[in-house]
């Protein structure tokens, strides 16, 4: 079965879905995107992803391409047409098409592209811990906006792959970890505190991060939103990363330093399992 994509009002075979070469997303990375996980047929936190989409658009003065209700219909159609049970929905909205000029015309019509992909079912129980490296954070100062401009992230992730690592954690000028190239970063201290960087302009406010914070609060875990250094991560009881695609993924090594005995930590495992229950509960609402 060939994949179906959505491009500005049309459902097209994925390989024939095209956009204009003067699209500002292509020219300047002038646009935003979202990735929503589909787990056992359920969309994970769709409403929060749509909230963040609206926030990213408004921070860049890009109008909504259609109503939120219409977007949900397109998302549902793509899931059905592509017969997705486990996978993800990707969508991006660019400012529009115009002859190349840095300054944009505020009247442009935003362009919406949506794709869907099947992925292997993520396991609630079985997660092999991963290795991460650290790299300098070379991004701009508005990382809270989920823009298409991902070159520093792509460079960082490729370096991680070259070193046999799963993710690159990015480090700011003060030596503190901001986040992963496509994930948020967490540690658990030996006192059992769950630490993650506060959601300021410095990081993307991850939807999985938000869900984990809710879950952790309900379990009465002590949560501290603050920055932490590479050394603190290397000496922590647990390190893990979170994202729509990796959910909660434990880390066993940070830059060649093993975390604890290298096994998946109990907090990461419990949070991962609780995240699955959280998505199932949303679907039942
Ligand atoms: N990335 N930080 C960055 C820089 C990210 O790109 C992502 C997500 C996250 C986690 O956000 P969320 O929990 O909402 O997925 C944090 C997506 C998955 C991607 O770019 O493919």
Atom of ligand 1 lying closest to residue 90 CA = 21
**Average pLDDT of span 243-272:** 96
**Average pLDDT of span 60-78:** 97
**Average pLDDT of span 53-81:** 97
- Specify whether 72 is catalytic: no
Of the residues 118, 138, 162, the one at which a domain ends: 118
* CA 164, 154, 199, 114 torsion-angle sign: negative
Percent of the chain scoring above 70 in pLDDT: 99
Q: Is residue 80 domain-shared with residue 142, that is, in the same domain?
A: no
Q: What is the pLDDT of residue 1?
A: 64
Question: Which domain CATH number covers 20?
Answer: 3.30.470.10
Distance from Cα 246 to the centre of ligand 1, integer Å: 9
Q: Is residue 261 domain-shared with residue 158, that is, in the same domain?
A: yes
**Average pLDDT of span 54-72:** 97
Tokens, residue 254: 């940070």
* Domain ranges, residue 14: 4-118
Atom of ligand 1 lying closest to residue 146 CA = 6
**Confidence class for position 123, pLDDT limits 50, 70, 90:** confident
HSE, side-chain direction, 13 A CA sphere, residue 22? 9
Of the residues 70, 95, 118, the one at which a domain ends: 118
Q: Is residue 50 domain-shared with residue 81, that is, in the same domain?
A: yes
**Confidence class for position 88, pLDDT limits 50, 70, 90:** very high
Residue 237 in domain: yes
Residues 220 and 127: their CA atoms lie apart, in Å, by 24
């Amino acid at each position: 079965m060939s994949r179906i994509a959505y491009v500005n009002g049309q459902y097209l075979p994925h390989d024939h879905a095209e956009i204009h070469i003067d699209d500002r997303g292509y020219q300047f990375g002038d646009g935003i995107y979202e990735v929503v996980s589909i787990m056992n047929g359920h969309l994970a936190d769709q409403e929060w992803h749509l909230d963040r989409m609206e926030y990213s658009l408004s921070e860049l003065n890009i109008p909504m391409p259609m109503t939120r209700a219409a977007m949900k219909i397109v998302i549902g159609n793509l899931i059905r047409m592509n017969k997705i049970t486990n996978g993800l929905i990707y969508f991006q909205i660019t400012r529009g098409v115009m002859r190349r000029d840095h300054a944009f015309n505020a009247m442009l019509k935003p362009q919406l592209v949506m794709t869907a992909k099947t992925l292997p079912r993520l396991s609630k129980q079985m997660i092999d811990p991963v290795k991460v490296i650290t790299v300098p954070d070379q991004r701009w100062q508005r990382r809270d906006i989920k823009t298409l401009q991902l070159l520093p992230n792509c460079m960082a992730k490729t370096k991680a792959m070259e070193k046999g690592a799963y993710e690159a954690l990015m480090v700011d000028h003060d030596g503190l970890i901001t986040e992963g190239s496509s994930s948020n970063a967490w540690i658990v201290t030996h006192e059992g505190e769950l630490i993650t960087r506060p959601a300021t302009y410095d990081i993307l406010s991850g939807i999985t991060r938000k869900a984990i914070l809710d879950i952790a609060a309900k379990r009465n875990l002590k949560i501290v939103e603050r920055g932490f250094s590479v050394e603190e991560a290397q000496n922590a009881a647990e390190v893990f990363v979170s994202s729509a695609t990796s959910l909660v993924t434990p880390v066993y090594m940070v830059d060649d330093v093993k975390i604890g005995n290298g096994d998946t930590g109990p907090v990461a495992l419990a949070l991962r399992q609780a995240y699955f229950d959280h998505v199932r509960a949303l679907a039942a609402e």
